[in-house]
């Protein structure tokens, strides 16, 4: 989705919460006749957008590892930089933030625009089960310097 003006953090938060609702509905629809346990749902969901034109927005949720991340995203991973691996280390690509950023960077590449990882605006990350805000992990804060 593209717009003629940038998204705000509040808009991204609302989009992220709406995305959680669609994730829950999808899981429930797929699990009809089965027990809908908490393990069916992804842990965290987030929305992000570009700060530079075109103003794309993408949503992502935590799931298995991101196998082939966008080259710009891969270059910003802490493991590719010597001596920057955080103490409490979460493997890159497991969180919702890299999945959303990967989708956004691919959309920008398709439109022949390039942005840096620092040009991505993230909304709050929300836990899917109860819609509570989740703090960004140390790996994501190292990968995306704008997350504080």
**Tens of pLDDT, residues 52-77:** 888 999 999 998 888 899 999 999 98
Are 101 and 146 in contact, with CB atoms under 8 Å apart?
Answer: no
Q: Which of 91, 88, 92, 97 is nearest to 125 (CA)?
A: 97
What is the average pLDDT across 131-138? Answer: 93
DSSP 77-104: SGGGSTT---SS---TTSSHHHHHHHHH
Q: Which of 148, 83, 143 is nearest to 117 (CA)?
A: 143
Q: Which one-letter DSSP state was computed for residue 106?
A: H
The pLDDT of residue 85 is 55
- 41: pLDDT strictly greater than 90: no
**Tens of pLDDT, residues 66-115:** 889 999 999 998 887 665 555 556 778 889 999 999 999 999 999 999 99
129: β partners: none
Query: End-to-end alpha-carbon separation of the chain, Å?
Result: 26
3-state DSSP call for residue 61? strand
pTM for the model: 0.87
Interatomic CA distance for residues 92 and 113, integer angstroms: 24
């Amino acid at each position: 989705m593209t717009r003629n003006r940038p998204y705000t953090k509040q808009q991204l938060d609302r989009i992220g919460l709406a995305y959680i609702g669609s994730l829950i509905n999808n899981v429930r629809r797929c699990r009809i006749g089965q027990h809908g346990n908490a393990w069916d749902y992804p842990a965290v969901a987030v929305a992000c957008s570009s700060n530079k034109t075109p103003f794309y927005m993408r949503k992502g949720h935590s799931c298995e590892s991101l196998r082939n991340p966008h080259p710009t995203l891969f270059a910003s991973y802490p493991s590719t930089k010597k001596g920057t691996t955080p103490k409490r280390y979460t493997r890159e690509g497991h969180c919702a933030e890299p999945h959303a950023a990967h989708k956004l960077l691919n959309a920008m590449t398709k439109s022949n625009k390039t942005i840096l990882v620092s040009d991505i605006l993230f909304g709050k990350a929300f836990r899917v089960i109860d819609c509570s805000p989740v703090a960004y992990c140390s790996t994501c804060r190292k990968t995306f310097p704008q997350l504080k």
